[in-house]
């Protein structure tokens, strides 16, 4: 009865949840898209697959771009300063696909009451089925807190706050958050909308998560946090990672208006059915948030909200203490003035011209984001392999050492106060390499030829190669091409008694290691007849190893 009398469900007020306002202005979008970091590359490689397939695109592993704090690329997302945490030992990850019955994205708005004091008013909240709001749901949510609306109820009173500023980033953050605190205390505001759509030639926007995190901290300090729901109307949310960052630092919900605008424009340009595309994007973001939560063994978005379950890399600890409470700063770095300097550069580049830039974050492109692996470096490596002496290798080595810093290790030098010892007193290299092991990569991931070459090379050195999780051809047993280490993974692909007894060492995965909390994946086009035979499965079918090992 409490729920029937008091709870409001947004879905009940919406006829067409995945449509969008026909009057939406997309004429001046390119400037704002540039500012948001949306490029031709992002649209082609990321947004279009979301709209067409309803899931995030699959890419090969490895990121050879610099950490966000080292990057000089003006359109790098501020959300790249945060790296997702994952459970390693104490809290095994949930399989968000096979165990989705225990997962929930249900999101509430309005005051949270004392759970120890039961009262019908505790059920007086607005409920949504996802923290990702469509345009229709956003408008309904606003109507319940709008004093001019017939639906208005004071307990849902809301106000929209622009997140734009001209200069003095830190002062601007303090001013906006102070105003919100004042309105919550004295004017009964309960739902706070943070809106960054006002960016223009004169105004920049405060990175949304910086504002969300600071507001969350101030509300806690003022003992007002239970009263307020924060909704981010942001151009910065393109991926599920972006959304997860916002939620982990305090956002109740997100309206990714620029993503939706871009999808609408894509539908016009390529003749894609609009409502279906918006449904697919919404679904893909939901799946991505569930996957991110499941990496920490968290099943409800309510438990993930305000958790701060990210490592902060490259922001000053004092800043993190003010804005990102509960998060570990893995590497200190930028302060408010440094961030503002980056924003100034971004703003200047964004409003330089109207057309979208090509972009070069996912793939190398000249004069775009820096990549460690470049065509020049790849050619140099090939020449070094083919050259009989070491002259080409030395050239390759020089290119590697002279490149721009990309990783933390590039800033480190060996510093030792120990005296060097005679080389004759050191164990010979031929003995040291016997303790080496090769990385675990399956035949399907590499190719039969590369997989066999690695095994033969490591066996020749007296070291151990690792089969990976895709089985191994029994013809290699008893030969120099046999992998001494063999894996039993959560998918159990290729595991037979014969496979096991021909190993010198067995690795049994409790959970996936290479992509923790996500599971392993071999795309269907790599599952040839030969690979399918080894794995005892069907050719052309995408194969996924669950994040946790369900047998364990």
The rounded distance, in Å, linking the Cα atoms of 143 and 496 is 61
Q: What confidence tens digit (pLDDT) does each residue in 365-418 have?
A: 988 999 988 999 999 999 999 988 889 999 999 999 888 888 888 889 889 999
Residue 104's pLDDT band (cuts 50, 70, 90) = very high
Tell me how many degrees the CA angle 539-543-549 measures, rounded to the nearest 5: 145
Alpha carbon dihedral 484, 520, 448, 378, in 10-degree steps, equals -110
Residue 526: pLDDT over 50: yes
The residue behind tokens 């968000």 is 96
What token pair was written down for 195?
A: 């809106």
The rounded distance, in Å, linking the Cα atoms of 232 and 98 is 31
User: Which residues touch 536 (CB under 8 Å, ≥6 apart)?
Assistant: 471, 493, 494
Higher pLDDT, 447 or 547: 447
Residue 21: pLDDT over 80: no
The rounded distance, in Å, linking the Cα atoms of 23 and 262 is 15
Phi, psi at residue 206, to the nearest 5°? -70, 135
Domains along the chain with CATH numbers? 2-350 (3.20.20.70), 375-406 (no CATH), 432-545 (no CATH)
Residue 193 has a pLDDT of 97
| 8 Å CB contact between 103 and 293 | yes
Alpha carbon dihedral 206, 208, 211, 216, in 10-degree steps, equals 180
Length of the chain in terms of residues written? 552
Q: Give the three-class secondary structure for 205.
A: strand
Residue 61 has a pLDDT of 66
The residue behind tokens 């790296």 is 83
Residue 355 has a pLDDT of 87
Residue 335: pLDDT over 80: yes
Residue 545 has a pLDDT of 83
Residue 57: pLDDT over 90: no
Residue 19: pLDDT over 90: no
Residue 307's pLDDT band (cuts 50, 70, 90) = very high
| 8 Å CB contact between 131 and 289 | yes
- Strands lying side by side in the sheet with 310-315: 82-84, 310-315, 328-334
Q: What confidence tens digit (pLDDT) does each residue in 269-281 have?
A: 999 998 899 999 9
The rounded distance, in Å, linking the Cα atoms of 266 and 263 is 5
């Amino acid at each position: 009865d409490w729920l029937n009398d008091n709870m409001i469900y947004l879905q009940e007020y919406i006829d067409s949840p995945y449509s969008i306002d026909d009057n939406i202005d997309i004429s001046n979008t390119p400037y704002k898209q540039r500012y948001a970091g949306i490029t031709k590359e992002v649209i082609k490689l990321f947004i279009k697959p979301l709209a067409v397939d309803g899931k995030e695109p699959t890419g090969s592993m490895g990121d050879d771009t610099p950490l966000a704090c080292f990057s000089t690329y003006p359109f790098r997302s501020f959300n790249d300063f945060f790296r997702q945490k994952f459970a390693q030992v104490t809290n095994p990850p949930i399989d968000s696909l096979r165990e989705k019955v225990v997962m929930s994205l249900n999101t509430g708005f309005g005051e949270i009451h004392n759970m120890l004091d039961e009262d019908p008013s505790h059920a007086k909240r607005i409920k949504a089925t996802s923290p990702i709001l469509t345009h229709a749901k956003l408008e309904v949510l606003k109507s319940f807190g709008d004093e001019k609306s017939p639906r208005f109820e004071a307990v849902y009173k809301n106000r929209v706050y622009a997140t734009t500023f001209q200069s003095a980033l830190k002062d601007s953050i303090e001013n906006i958050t102070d105003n919100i605190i004042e309105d919550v205390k004295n004017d009964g505001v309960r739902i706070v909308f943070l809106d960054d759509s006002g960016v223009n030639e004169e105004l920049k926007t405060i990175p949304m998560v910086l504002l969300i995190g600071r507001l969350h901290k101030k509300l806690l300090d003022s003992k007002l946090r239970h009263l307020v729901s924060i909704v981010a109307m942001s151009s910065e949310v393109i991926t599920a990672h972006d959304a997860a960052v916002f939620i982990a630092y305090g956002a109740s919900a997100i309206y990714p208006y620029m993503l939706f605008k871009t999808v609408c424009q894509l539908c016009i340009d390529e003749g894609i059915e609009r409502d279906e595309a918006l449904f697919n994007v919404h679904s893909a973001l939901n799946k991505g948030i569930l996957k991110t939560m499941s990496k920490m063994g968290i099943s409800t978005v309510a438990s993930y909200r305000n958790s701060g379950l990210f490592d902060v890399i490259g922001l000053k600890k004092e800043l993190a203490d003010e804005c990102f409470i509960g998060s570990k700063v893995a590497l200190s770095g930028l302060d408010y003035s440094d961030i503002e300097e980056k924003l100034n550069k971004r703003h200047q580049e964004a409003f330089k011209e109207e057309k979208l830039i090509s972009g070069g974050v996912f793939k190398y492109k000249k004069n775009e984001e820096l990549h460690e692996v470049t065509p020049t470096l790849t050619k140099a490596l090939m020449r070094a392999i083919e050259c009989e002496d070491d002259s080409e290798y030395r050239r390759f080595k020089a290119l590697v050492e002279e490149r721009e810093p990309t990783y933390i290790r590039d800033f480190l030098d060996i510093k030792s106060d120990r005296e060097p010892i005679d080389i004759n007193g050191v164990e010979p290299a031929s003995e040291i390499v016997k303790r080496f092991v090769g990385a675990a990569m399956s035949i399907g991931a590499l190719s039969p030829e590369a997989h066999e070459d690695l095994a033969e090379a490591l066996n020749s050195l007296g070291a151990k190669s690792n089969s990976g999780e895709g089985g191994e051809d029994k013809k290699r047993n008893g030969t120099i091409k046999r992998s001494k280490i063999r894996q039993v993974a959560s998918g159990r692909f290729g595991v037979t008694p014969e496979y096991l007894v021909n190993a010198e060492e067995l690795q049994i995965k409790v959970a996936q290691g290479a992509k923790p909390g996500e599971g392993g994946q071999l795309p269907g086009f790599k599952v040839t007849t030969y690979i399918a035979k080894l794995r005892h499965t069907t050719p052309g079918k995408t194969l996924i190893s669950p994040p946790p090992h369900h047998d364990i």
